[in-house]
Structure formats: structure tokens, C-alpha cells
């Protein structure tokens, strides 16, 4: 299982939100490039970079930081937040992203998202399935739809999607454990996907459980910044 630390960006700074609430923002570092370098220095190979400004504004915003991280580290980045147009996609790939995550675009402009999937292939395009109480959330988690997360994922599996990041918003930033039951249900219904857990991870034991379940990856954010999980301990499962 891939271990994927997360950096969320607002105003170019490394932050974390609680349950996606922009009003509950905590700044952890004003230099996300240095944070990325610390992850690489600990032996990690991947990074989940989220442009929260972009998610809220509807277009990519923090592309310069993406470019700096890819230029100054060897980390393989998946990037999301504000990817709404062909131009956004072009910028993100040109700035060094290895994969791009589309969530809101997959809901609001499905044809565009499927065009990207066809053009770039399932190794490059990740489906973002962010859920609140089992329903898909969009626009930086500010809008909750009536789409069931399981059915939503299944509809894109039929279109050839392989990578899925599923964030349980109720768990995100709470350090109360990930949604094991939800992930088990998703994997039971979609055995072919490479499912990446996101939200709530707070311990090495939980990461081991996710690995045992068959998750392709696990994203860790607040647990690292709050010292619940130490970078050096991640060597046990990488």
C-alpha cells in the first residue's frame, strides 16, 4: 500500500481544515516546499497536493507551488482542487503533476471528465469521490449532492476509471479513524479499482488495517502535522 502524505494549500500556505470547513483552518507551515522536502527526506515517494483556493474558486490557483515542489523534489504528485477546464489540466501537467484528481468536474461536467480519461488514460486521471453521510460532495465540499457514493463510483468504473480517492468528510481532520466500513463496501462492489483512503487516519495500526483490506493507498494529513504519526514510523509499512 502506498503511503501518501497530504499538503493542502490556502494562500500558498500549508493548512488543514476540519471536516472541510474553511472557517476551521489551521496553518501548519508557510513553506509547503519545505514540508514536501521533509516527506521526501523521510523516504516517502508520493504526495497528495490539494489546491483549496482552486477548489473554492473553480480554477487552478496554486500552480506555482506545484511547480516548485516538482522541481525541487523527486516526489510523485497527484494534484487536485480547481481542475475545471482543459487549460487547468494542461497547467497542472506542465507543472509536473503525475496524476490529476477530478471530483466536482466528474459530477458537473461528466463529458469533460470522461474526455480527459480517454485522452490521458486511467493511470493519469483519478476520480475524487468525496462523501458526506454517503452522498457525494462538490465545490470544495461546500455542496452536498443526492448522488450515492457507491453508485457514483460504479458509474465511472464502467467508463474505465481505475484510481479512486474516497474522502469521508465526516472523518476528515477529526483523527477518529478512517471509514473502514465504507471502504469495505466500495471494494466489495468494485473489486477492480485502486482505492485510496483519505480522512481520519490517526495511527499506524489503522494504516495496517487499510493495507490488510486491500487499499491501494492511504492519504495522511493531520495525523502527521499533529504528531500522531511520526514520519520515521511509516517505514514499517512502506
Query: Which residues have a catalytic role annotated?
Result: 8, 130
What number of other Cβ atoms are within 10 A of residue 145's Cβ? 17
DSSP for 215-232, please give it. -SEEEE-HHHHTTSS-GG
Report how far residue 90's alpha carbon sits from residue 110's, in angstroms, rounded to the nearest whole number.
18
C-alpha cell at 115: 474526455
Report how far residue 190's alpha carbon sits from residue 156's, in angstroms, rounded to the nearest whole number.
10
Contact between 218 and 209 (Cβ < 8 Å)? no
Going by their DSSP bridges, the two strands 46-51 and 143-148 should be labelled as: unpaired
C-alpha cell at 124: 493519469
Q: Which residues of 104-135 are buried (b: 16+ CB within 10 A; e: fewer)?
A: bbbbeeeebbbebbeeeebebbbbbbbbbeee
Report how far residue 83's alpha carbon sits from residue 73's, in angstroms, rounded to the nearest whole number.
23
Amino acid at each position: 500500500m502506498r503511503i501518501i502524505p497530504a499538503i493542502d494549500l490556502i494562500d500558498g500556505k500549508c493548512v488543514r481544515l476540519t471536516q472541510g470547513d474553511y472557517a476551521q483552518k489551521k496553518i501548519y507551515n508557510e513553506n509547503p516546499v519545505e514540508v514536501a522536502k521533509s516527506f521526501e527526506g523521510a523516504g516517502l515517494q508520493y504526495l497528495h497536493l490539494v489546491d483549496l483556493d482552486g477548489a473554492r474558486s473553480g480554477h487552478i490557483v496554486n500552480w506555482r507551488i506545484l511547480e516548485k515542489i516538482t522541481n525541487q523534489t523527486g516526489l510523485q504528485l497527484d494534484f487536485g482542487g480547481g481542475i475545471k477546464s482543459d487549460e487547468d489540466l494542461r497547467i497542472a501537467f506542465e507543472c509536473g503533476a503525475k496524476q490529476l484528481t477530478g471530483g466536482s468536474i466528474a459530477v458537473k461536467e461528466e463529458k469533460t471528465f470522461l474526455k480527459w480519461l480517454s485522452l490521458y488514460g486511467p493511470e493519469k486521471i483519478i476520480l475524487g469521490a468525496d462523501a458526506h453521510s454517503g452522498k457525494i460532495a462538490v465545490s470544495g465540499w461546500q455542496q452536498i449532492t443526492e448522488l450515492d457514493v457507491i453508485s457514483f463510483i460504479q458509474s465511472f468504473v464502467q467508463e474505465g476509471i481505475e484510481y479512486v480517492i474516497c474522502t469521508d468528510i465526516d472523518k476528515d481532520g477529526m483523527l477518529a479513524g478512517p471509514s473502514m466500513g465504507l471502504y469495505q463496501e466500495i471494494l466489495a462492489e468494485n473489486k477492480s479499482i485502486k482505492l485510496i483512503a483519505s480522512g481520519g487516519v490517526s495511527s499506524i495500526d489503522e494504516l495496517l488495517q487499510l493495507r490488510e483490506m486491500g487499499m491501494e493507498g492511504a492519504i495522511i494529513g493531520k495525523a502527521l502535522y499533529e504528531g500522531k504519526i511520526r514520519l520515521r514510523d511509516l517505514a514499517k509499512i512502506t
